Amino acid sequence: MDDPRADLAALYRQSWPRLIGVLVSIGASRVDAELVAQDAYARLLGRWDAICRYEDPEAWVRGVAVRTIVGRLRRREVAARALARLGGGAPRRGPAGEVAAALAGMTPEQRAVVVLHEVMELPVEQIAQELELPVGGVNARLARARRALKVAEHA
């Protein structure tokens, strides 16, 4: 690495669109995806001296961002369910399309592993490492997500 700052800038330019796409596919709004991605890159900047030596620094950023967005989505869904139980919940509207509807019916954790595995084509082991989950946990989430997709397909 001749110029670590140039390497970081190149990583940012190359990986930003992919990261935003992954976060939006998991269920984040464009604004939330950009905010979470900015935070992940800010954390990367503070650790760049170490992370630049990683085999895949983009995987580190993606893992941070996906874990963050999954946590946010989970908290929102818990709040929405609580509001609905109180009678104040409005019907949820999501993007049109069968795939979007099927994804919307999954938990944020299931959406995350399905997007990383099926869209980003990452192996289960890498997803487990990035999301700090056991391989069995990733496989279980994938199995539940695939069942949800089959149910949605036949609905």
Per-residue pLDDT of 50-64, as tens digits, reads 999 999 999 999 999
Among residues 86, 76, 10, which one has the least CA distance to residue 41? 10
Whether the pLDDT of residue 40 is over 70: the answer is yes
Residue 103 sits in a domain whose CATH number is 1.20.140.160
Confidence at residue 4, expressed as pLDDT on a 0 to 100 scale: 78
User: C-alpha angle with apex 11: 10 to 17, nearest 5 degrees?
Assistant: 105
Per-residue pLDDT of 120-154, as tens digits, reads 889 999 999 999 999 999 999 999 988 887 776 66
Per-residue tokens: 73 = 């989505």
How many Å apart are CA 39 and CA 21, to the nearest integer?
A: 16
Residues spanned by the domain of 52: 4-154
Tell me the pTM.
0.70
Q: Are the CB atoms for 69 and 109 separated by under 8 Å?
A: no
Q: How many distinct structural domains can be found in the chain?
A: 1
Per-residue pLDDT of 83-128, as tens digits, reads 566 665 444 444 445 666 777 788 889 989 988 998 888 999 999 9
CA atoms within 13 A on the CB side of 84: 9
Confidence at residue 91, expressed as pLDDT on a 0 to 100 scale: 43
